[in-house]
Amino acid sequence: MSAVAWLTQFLEVLAALALAPLFLGWVNACRAWLQNRSAPGLLLPYHGIRKLFHKDAVIATDASALFRMAPYVVFGAMVAAAAVIPSMGTGLPFRSAADAIALVGLLAIARVFMSLAAMDIGTAFGTLGARREMMIGFLAEPALLMIIFVASLISATTALPLIAERLAVQAPAIFPSLAFTAVAFTMVLLAENARIPVDNPATHLELTMIHEAMLLEYSARHLALMEWAAALKLFNYACIGFALFVPWGASLGDAGLASLAVSIPVLAAKLAVAGVWLALLETVSAKLRVFRAPEFMATAFMFAVLGLLVHLLLGA
Amino acid sequence: MSPLDSPLAACLALLAAWGLIGVAGLMRPGSVVFVGRTLFPLGAIVGLGVALVAVLGVGAPVERATLVIGLPDLPMHLRLDPLSRVFLALLGSTSAGVSLFASGYFRKGQGTAPGVLGLQYHLFLASMGFVLLADDAYAFMVAWETMALTSYFLVTSQHAIPEIRSAGFLYLLMAHVGAIAILLSFGILQGGTWLFSFDAMRASTLPIPWATAAFLLALFGFGAKAGLLPLHVWLPEAHPAAPSPVSALMSGVMLKTAIYGVLRVTFDLIGDPQWWWGLVPLALGLATAIFGVVFAAVQTDMKRLLAYSSVENIGVLFTGIGLAIVFHGVGMGALAALALIAVLYHSLNHAFMKSLLFLGTGAVLHATGERNLGRLGGLIHRMPWAGWLTLVGVLAIAGLPPLNGFVSEWLLLQTFLFSHEVPRPFVNMLLPLGAAVLALAAALAGYVMVKFFGIIFLGQPREASLASAHDVDGLEKAGLLWLAAGCALLGLLPNQVIGVLGSATTQLVGSAPDTASQSWWMLAPLPERAVSYSPLILLAVIVGVIAVAFLIVRAVYRRPVRRAAPWDCGFARLDPRMQDTAEGFGQPIRHIFQSFFAIERELPSPRDVAPRYRVSVTDRIWRDLYLPIGGVVQRLTNAVAWLQQGRISVYLTYSFITLVVLLAVML
């Protein structure tokens, strides 16, 4: 492993930690502009996290240690996930430790711990949120696995950085199977990050909330970590999308410092476009009733499986 | 010759020791202290010995022996080979934990006396060991039936309760329907030589139709023991009926003897399975996995939930077996080995995880007397040891890295990624879709386990009596710790485990993944794919991030945590009944997978004085398959009962007719 590889690894994790709230702010700002509202500041998520860290933590009297542990575990899983996603370069030293299936596992750790923590106090909202989160998750997880499967079949590996590398060096042909999986991935991304049409990050409307319902009992530093982890999750999903569908521009293998320097503005550009795209999707779609959410997720799963079938039929 | 020179002799001595421990219990059958505190820990040590003997000489040559016991001129052949070593290791290591827990568990003399229970328990263990060593059909069936009978008596240890008696009857019935099929399969396998030793069966080559029949009979017979769809019906009845350590052994170990049987018959005795045979266990396995996990999600009894989760895992195992047969049949030996590694690994994992979870429910059952999820809750405060150790099992079986459930899932998914290379048109397009079903089942397992743990251990206690629940005591704690440590180690050191399992796949399909040339911390079974997984590094990174985050937060924003009443959106009168019930948590699954269930709803009319809402979710297969079969059997037996006239002259007439017919045939 060269020094550049370790530098890439370090920069990627750092970028994920630092840029995730900014990306969230960018999506929110774009959404506000598209909806003809005046946008909140781009840096608002940072202020939110900073403010929360400075507050006194209040937790329920009958919260167990699991409740206090969960924000750290969720945050840790998200940072570890950021370390295997090739956002800037593909020559990550950490890539041999966890492939894309392990990445799905890392996301599952976060989901399971968040749901368990939500059930810990025993409030009606907490268990409701946990149940709904798991309901979305059990369809989103296999859908994501199938999306990764298609990319793995094309590139003959399950290591995400290698997938990105092999897809990037191929002639920029359009794989019909990847078109299907891209649709599926967009749907999974929206659902897993509690965006419209599955959940609405902007409200605490009691009957429809999913993600926010699980965080109701958290405050101060625990909440800050959870919020930061949620921003990281959105950032991670965006970067998984880049690796699978637009891998061009990332520094490939041991390409050296120059290529790493190029990859940083490329990543920024991709994120900017992704933010607009997400905001657009959220603006043109309406929130689904909770009972329709499984249908939405099942559609995503079927799209992913269809992508797999298309790949096997056409070999592309 | 010391027993260490002959591992087979050592194994037999240890199995005999289990038998002796069991018999010793009869000296003071009523004494909980003697049986529980002395004999069960001894049994655990013997179990450890079995595991050590099996693992230590794993590369050693196959060893045979002949025991001259039983019927004259029909000695019992025994054989210790890598496949039996793997399963003996599973039996020994899992039972060590379960026996430790059991020593603290059988406290009061309810139902069967402790001494008798101890005899049944240890004979059950010894017979499972004997099943794994048997090398002829006769010895195998004797051990197999001993296993079925001892476990039947263990299941019905609380025989005063009618439901338990009927659950035991159903179990015995299914066990024997299965045993008949296995016997018939052996009957075909001897191939006209009338030699029932496994060596003779290995040597004979059958025409394909007969071999297929033998395979399908074995699949049916062992499938009935394992709980393959649609033969799973006894599992959710028998597991809740049995005492928890027995459920742990049955689910963790006994189901695996059926996996052993399928592997033994298919890859060893038949020897050259046709590739298309694999499609049967593959399809059935996938169906079983989905079916089991969906049913687990809607259960309200914690042990029934685990029983259905076992059905799911059996489905996963049969899926792997199916893949291995397909790969082996088309000559892709390395992949067949990988699929078999996944099967053996998952067997081992499931033994540890499921035993741990069943013992966890045992601790809860002991502390609260409740199996119904609707009356539990908040137990992590009262029972921290049981709670946190169960959490390890929960995370492992939900397939989360870096614990053990993830490794076998990872291996099986990697194998599936190659299934499109099977050189058979059409099939190679359908096979990868199996991965989608498998992934769905794995994700649903996460749902089930969040429900299981969240409702039992988290939240508010749903009953006032739960406040007096007590935690596990020393020996129970040791048993749980042993199994939890097993889950962690099997997850963290996959290379070492595969190194041991590889000898069995070499025996069965002639190749094994190369782990020796890899770094010891890195699992990379497919060098050409450049895929690898390193649980130790993954764990180190996660723990490192958590530690750093914790230290920074502590250093920079050190403010004390204040405790207050739950916020709950400002709602002040929080009540434990406002939490989700087990039914409530399973509701989305019931809604999405409606067609799987037979749902009966009882809705009150608006004018009811005492309104009652009831919904019962039952198994369609029971209604649509078993009840009709039961009806047919009933009608047939009624017809045959006409023969029983109850008059001696009629019976004499029967004898006369029989004699005449026999004479006519003979002459």
Q: Which structure tokens are listed for B577?
A: 């009944």
pLDDT number for residue B64:
87
% chain B with pLDDT above 90 = 47
Q: How many beta-carbon pairs below 8 A join chains A and B?
A: 258
- Residue-range domain boundaries for chain B: 1-202+212-271, 593-603+612-666
B591: chain A residues, CB-CB within 8 Å = 291, 294
Residue in chain A nearest B577 by alpha carbon: A124
Residue contact A56–B433, C-beta within 8 A: no
B125/B47 Cα distance (integer angstroms): 9
A152: chain B residues, CB-CB within 8 Å = 417
Instruction: For residue A316, name the pLDDT band (cuts at 50, 70, 90).
Output: low
Reading phi first (left if > 0) and then psi (alpha if -120 to 50, else beta), residue B60 is in beta
Residue contact A301–B542, C-beta within 8 A: no
User: When comparing pLDDT for A156 and A273, which is higher?
Assistant: A273
Position B90 pLDDT exceeds 90: yes
- Tell me which of A121, A153, A166, A308 to substitute to probe the interface with B (most B C-beta atoms closer than 10 Å): A121
Query: Burial, B199: exposed, middle or buried (Cβ in 10 Å; 0-12, 13-18, 19+)?
Result: middle
Residue in chain B nearest A50 by alpha carbon: B557
Residue in chain B nearest A102 by alpha carbon: B401
Instruction: For residue A252, name the pLDDT band (cuts at 50, 70, 90).
Output: confident
Instruction: For residue B440, name the pLDDT band (cuts at 50, 70, 90).
Output: very high
Residue contact A61–B564, C-beta within 8 A: yes
Instruction: For residue B108, name the pLDDT band (cuts at 50, 70, 90).
Output: low
Model confidence pLDDT, tens digit, residues B544-567: 999 998 998 888 877 788 888 888
Residue contact B566–A61, C-beta within 8 A: yes
Q: Which residues, in sequence order, are CB contacts of A281 under 8 Å at separation 6+?
A: A186, A190, A195
Least confident piece of the model among A88-102, A231-245, B389-403, B627-641: A88-102
Residue in chain B nearest A297 by alpha carbon: B592
Residue in chain B nearest A83 by alpha carbon: B541
B134/B291 Cα distance (integer angstroms): 33
> What is the mean predicted confidence (pLDDT) over A158-186?
84
Residue in chain A nearest B527 by alpha carbon: A157
Q: How close B571 comes to chain A (CA, Å)? A: 10
A142: chain B residues, CB-CB within 8 Å = 436, 439-440, 442-443
Nearest to B195 by CA among B131, B129, B145, B269: B269
A207: chain B residues, CB-CB within 8 Å = none
Residue contact A108–B432, C-beta within 8 A: no
Confirm or reject contact between A101 and chain B (CB < 8 A): yes
Residue contact A139–B417, C-beta within 8 A: no
Residue contact B532–A96, C-beta within 8 A: yes
Residue contact A56–B559, C-beta within 8 A: yes
User: When comparing pLDDT for A260 and B180, which is higher?
Assistant: B180
Q: 3-state DSSP call for residue B402?
A: coil
Position B16 pLDDT exceeds 60: yes
% chain A with pLDDT above 70 = 98
Q: Which residues, in sequence order, are CB contacts of B630 under 8 Å at separation 6+?
A: none
Nearest to B601 by CA among B612, B589, B585, B588: B612
- Tell me which of A62, A147, A306 to substitute to probe the interface with B (most B C-beta atoms closer than 10 Å): A62
Query: Burial, B474: exposed, middle or buried (Cβ in 10 Å; 0-12, 13-18, 19+)?
Result: exposed
pLDDT number for residue A172:
64
pLDDT number for residue B433:
86
Residue contact B565–A61, C-beta within 8 A: yes
Q: How close A95 comes to chain B (CA, Å)? A: 8
pLDDT number for residue B1:
44
Least confident piece of the model among A132-136, B424-428, B459-463, B562-566: B424-428
> What is the mean predicted confidence (pLDDT) over B434-450?
92
Round the average pLDDT of chain B to a whole number and report it: 88
Residue in chain B nearest A154 by alpha carbon: B417
Q: Which structure tokens are listed for B485?
A: 């440590």
A260/A254 Cα distance (integer angstroms): 10
Model confidence pLDDT, tens digit, residues A48-82: 999 988 888 888 888 899 999 999 999 999 999 99
Cβ density class B496-519: b for 16+ within 10 Å, e for less: ebbbbbbbbbebbbebbbebeebe
B576: chain A residues, CB-CB within 8 Å = 122
> What is the mean predicted confidence (pLDDT) over B231-258?
91
Touching B: A residues 21-60, CB under 8 Å? 53-60
**Are the C-beta atoms of B498 and B521 separated by less than 8 Å?**
no
Position A157 pLDDT exceeds 90: no
Instruction: For residue B355, name the pLDDT band (cuts at 50, 70, 90).
Output: very high
A55: chain B residues, CB-CB within 8 Å = 559
**Are the C-beta atoms of A244 and A147 separated by less than 8 Å?**
yes
Residue contact B450–A119, C-beta within 8 A: yes
HEC states along chain A?
CCHHHHHHHHHHHHHHHHHHHHHHHHHHHHHHHHCCCCCCCCCHHHHHHHHHHCCCEEEECCCCHHHHHHHHHHHHHHHHHHHHCCCCECCCHHHHCCCHHHHHHHHHHHHHHHHHHHHHCCCHHHHHHHHHHHHHHHHHHHHHHHHHHHHHHHHCCCCHHHHHHHHHHCCCCCCHHHHHHHHHHHHHHHHHCCCCCCCCCCCCCCCCCCHHHHHCCCCHHHHHHHHHHHHHHHHHHHHHHHHHHCCCCCECCCCCHHHHHHHHHHHHHHHHHHHHHHHHHHHHCCCCCHHHHHHHHHHHHHHHHHHHHHHHHHCC
Reading phi first (left if > 0) and then psi (alpha if -120 to 50, else beta), residue B569 is in left
Rounded-to-10 torsion of CA B389, B390, B391, B397 = 120
Q: Which among B443, B584, B589 has CB closest to A142?
A: B443
Cβ density class B323-352: b for 16+ within 10 Å, e for less: bbbbbbbbebebbbbbbbbbbbbbbbbbbb
Give the helix/strand (H/E) hosting B597. Answer: strand B597-602
% chain A with pLDDT above 90 = 38
Confirm or reject contact between A102 and chain B (CB < 8 A): yes
For residue B447, how far is the Cα from the chain centroid?
20
Cβ density class B77-100: b for 16+ within 10 Å, e for less: bbbbbbbbbbbbbbbbbbbbbbbb
Q: How close A82 comes to chain B (CA, Å)? A: 11
A246/A266 Cα distance (integer angstroms): 11
For residue A249, how far is the Cα from the chain centroid?
20
- Residue-range domain boundaries for chain A: 3-314
Residue contact A66–B380, C-beta within 8 A: yes
Residue contact B553–A221, C-beta within 8 A: yes
**Are the C-beta atoms of B450 and A112 separated by less than 8 Å?**
yes
Position B93 pLDDT exceeds 80: yes
Query: Between β-strands B76-80 and B561-564, what pairing exists: parallel, antiparallel or unpaired?
Result: unpaired
A221/B136 Cα distance (integer angstroms): 66
Q: Cα dist. B389→A77, B355, B461 in Å?
A: 21, 12, 19
Model confidence pLDDT, tens digit, residues B591-619: 888 888 888 888 888 888 888 878 888 88
Token pair 């019992």: residue: B76
Q: Which structure tokens are listed for A247?
A: 């891998």
Q: Cα dist. A2→A122, B259, B540 in Å?
A: 50, 47, 21
Instruction: For residue B351, name the pLDDT band (cuts at 50, 70, 90).
Output: very high
Touching B: A residues 176-215, CB under 8 Å? 204, 206
A121: chain B residues, CB-CB within 8 Å = 459-460, 566, 568
Residue in chain B nearest A109 by alpha carbon: B400
Rounded-to-10 torsion of CA B121, B123, B124, B127 = 160
- Tell me which of A13, A123, A165 to substitute to probe the interface with B (most B C-beta atoms closer than 10 Å): A123
Q: Which structure tokens are listed for A41?
A: 């500041």
Sheet strands (E) in B29-161: 63-67, 76-80
A102: chain B residues, CB-CB within 8 Å = 401, 406, 410, 533, 538
B539: chain A residues, CB-CB within 8 Å = none
B358/B313 Cα distance (integer angstroms): 15
